[in-house]
Structure 1
Amino acid sequence: MALNTSRTDAAALHEKPEPFWLDPKKRAVLFQILVLGVVGLIAWYLISNTVANLQRQKIATGFDFLGKEAAFEIGESLIAYDASNTYARALVVGALNTVKVSFIGIVITVILGTFIGIARLSSNWLISRLAAAYIEFMQDIPVLIQLFFWYAIFYETLPSPRQALNPMHGVFLCNRGLIMPVPEFHPAYRYVFLAFVAACFLVWGLRRWARKRQDETGKTFPVFRVSLGLLVGLPLAVWMALGSPFSLNVPELRGFNFRGGTTLSPEFMALLLGLILYTAAFVAEVVRAGIQSVSKGQREAAMSLGLRPAQVLRLVILPQALRVIIPPLTSQMLNLTKNSSLAVAIGYPDFVSVANTTINQTGQSIEGVALIMVVYLFFSLSTSAFMNWYNKKVKLVER
């Protein structure tokens, strides 16, 4: 036995090693290196060829143009801007305009889409059919056509400022947009805002405490009502303690336009309406599919415990449906943000519109397009990162 074992070991020592191309792991690494090398060569060829062509045509490259004077106006801006500012500031204005319409659009779209998705499953025949008709109608019309439609509604059907519609005091609707009053700033509002932030932290702590208490004792706590009281009552108490300062900057018609208040331009309103109504139809289908993914036994078990239909939906159905809803909902949020680039078609000064103007004036097309790609990549990655965090936060922990 000992002799046979020694012969076997000797044979193993003199056995030739297996060629690396027959090892699947080594072969996979080699293929990846080769592919990476080919991609690198293609990128080097494209970049070097582009640089050579630009030099041959004596076209300047780089981002030095960002520090030069823009010399063009922007109709809407969240920060101070005029034509004497730099291209960099103009691009920041465009990016902020994109963030504004995307953020407001996402919030309203999620609320509207959730409502329509739940209505689609209603036992009421009329409500269910109306929701289905809305979804079918909005999904079948391209979003760009919807933007043109709403833009035409504002400019072709609404009256001029002198004949503006006045549905309530201080609010006017005309072909210049929606003009409405805004509160004039007062130092007390800073403390009201801080009180609201403090109330948010208190609500967060209250929810954690109520969940832990329910797990330990089985007793529920009216979290929603108490949270609503904190979010409204605490800032209101601070506002009243500081003397209840309040004054409105009411718009007034002077000449051919309104002065004072704030104005939501027709371009912004048309873009916002188009994006919301179009994307909400897809969100509604996502919500409907998520709710239907929860088995009927869950609903029946909840009803047998004496929970009301609203409680069943809020406490049993939606928490389980979220794991199905969130991934496609994230895609719809990204679609809304990217579709906002169609604003250039109706004249809203978003980032793409400002970047196009910059490209036309400077000739820096490659740099301009690269900036557009980077900015929208940042928006998309930021939204995806937040939704992935939220998805992990609400996912069900299986035992």
Structure 2
Amino acid sequence: MAVVVTPWWRNRRLIPWLVQGSVGLALLVLIAFLLGNLVRNLTAAGLLLSWGWLDNPAGFDISETLLPFDAGLPYWRALLAGLVNTLRVVLAGLVGATVLGTLVGVASFSGNGLLRRLARVYVELIRNIPLLLQLLFWYFVVFLALPGGAEAIQLPGVVLAKSGLYLGNPELVNGVWQAPLRLTVEFSALLTGLVVYTAAFIAEVVRGGVASVPGGQWEAARSLGFTPAMTLRRIVLPQALRVIVPALNSQYISLAKNSSLAVACGFTDLYSVAETTLNQTGRAVEVILILLGSYLLLDLLISALMNGLNGLVQLKER
């Protein structure tokens, strides 16, 4: 009996490996070409990659940072302080945007017609205005226009003044507000802008997730005597998380990247510190690589955490 030999170009197991290998080889060649071109250009300009400048004194101050810093400390410490400021904004923004976006998304299903319309107006208005313009609005029109001193907006345990947001029983001492916790105007404007903007997109994610739950779930809960709030909290939202969590990943990553617009509010985040460092040292390639690597790692971390959460909320088949 004759044995039929399949030609290699018709081998369904071999062809995919050959295609993948060819594409991978082409990518390696392209990367090698780009890196070689970069090295040649830097060599011609006398700017070979060097990281020794990171130990030089920065020579500039950072107006707001959780890490102690002064002009005599090295550049790497300045970049680290900027990174901490970025993480501070991102973490607070993720929490605030999630809470506000969830509330607005749930309000879209409210029995109150006015509340539903307000939620829709908020989403459509905020999503269609560029974030940069919103940050400028919050900084220049809202926060910098606040009164100061005794005329500041005073609430129980909170004071909102032109000099910042004071929390924890603020006191006015010699015309200056003092409190255990103070958020600067720059940080407050940036955080408010990011939260309000991202929450509009998260609200649509939540609305889509809730709408994906079959209407029979609501009717069954109503027949058991559940209130709308109990139905939403105990029955609908747990099921909607399967749709909500994957979409939240993109919104969280967008918020982390949008935090680089902090320069519009005068807040010294990683991008702002890196820009000052670049202007002083002229090490454009190194600074850009640090920026790219930092934001890439931050986004990958968010993605990994959200993928883990997504695995927990998905239904497990038996």
TM-score (norm 1): 0.75
Identity of aligned residues (%): 43
> Which stretches of structure 1, 4 residues or longer, exceed 6 Å deviation after superposition?
none
Give the equivalent residue in structure 2 for 1:388: 307
The answer on whether the counterparts of 2:143 and 2:189 sit within 8 Å (CA) in structure 1 is: no
Q: Aligned in 2, Cα 1:64/1:269: closer, same or farther, shift over 3 Å?
A: same
CA shift digits 1:308-352 (9 cap, x unpaired): 222211111111111011111111111111111111222111111
The correspondence for 1:304, drawn from 207, 223, 226, is: 223
The correspondence for 2:138, drawn from 143, 150, 174, is: 150
The correspondence for 1:39, drawn from 6, 27, 44, is: 27
Give the equivalent residue in structure 2 for 1:72: 60
Secondary structure of the residue that 1:263 maps to in structure 2? Answer: strand
**CA displacement at 1:162 relative to structure 2:** 4.0
> What aligned pairs does 1:264-279 form with structure 2 within 5 A after superposition?
264-279=183-198
**CA displacement at 1:45 relative to structure 2:** 1.5
Query: Which one has the largest radius of gyration?
Result: 1
> What aligned pairs does 1:64-213 form with structure 2 within 5 A after superposition?
64-154=52-142, 156-159=144-147, 161-162=148-149, 164-168=151-155, 171-181=158-168
1:63 to 2:51 alignment: yes
CA shift digits 1:74-97 (9 cap, x unpaired): 111111111111111111111111
* Aligned CA-pair RMSD: 2.0
**CA displacement at 1:166 relative to structure 2:** 4.5
Cα distance in 2 between the residues matched to 1:325 and 1:291: 8
Give the equivalent residue in structure 1 for 2:41: 53
Which consecutive residues of structure 2, in runs of 5 or more, have no partner in the other structure?
Answer: none
Give the total of aligned pairs. 318
Q: Aligned in 2, Cα 1:260/1:303: closer, same or farther, shift over 3 Å?
A: closer
Cα distance in 2 between the residues matched to 1:155 and 1:284: 25
Secondary structure of the residue that 1:70 maps to in structure 2? Answer: coil
Cα distance in 2 between the residues matched to 1:254 and 1:170: 19
TM-score (norm 2): 0.93
Which consecutive residues of structure 1, in runs of 5 or more, have no partner in the other structure?
Answer: 1-7, 182-247
CA shift digits 1:105-157 (9 cap, x unpaired): 11111111111111111121111111111111111111111000001124652
CA shift digits 1:175-216 (9 cap, x unpaired): 2222344xxxxxxxxxxxxxxxxxxxxxxxxxxxxxxxxxxx
1:289 to 2:205 alignment: no
1:327 to 2:315 alignment: no
1:365 to 2:299 alignment: no
The answer on whether the counterparts of 1:162 and 1:253 sit within 8 Å (CA) in structure 2 is: no
Cα distance in 2 between the residues matched to 1:310 and 1:346: 39
Give the equivalent residue in structure 2 for 1:215: none
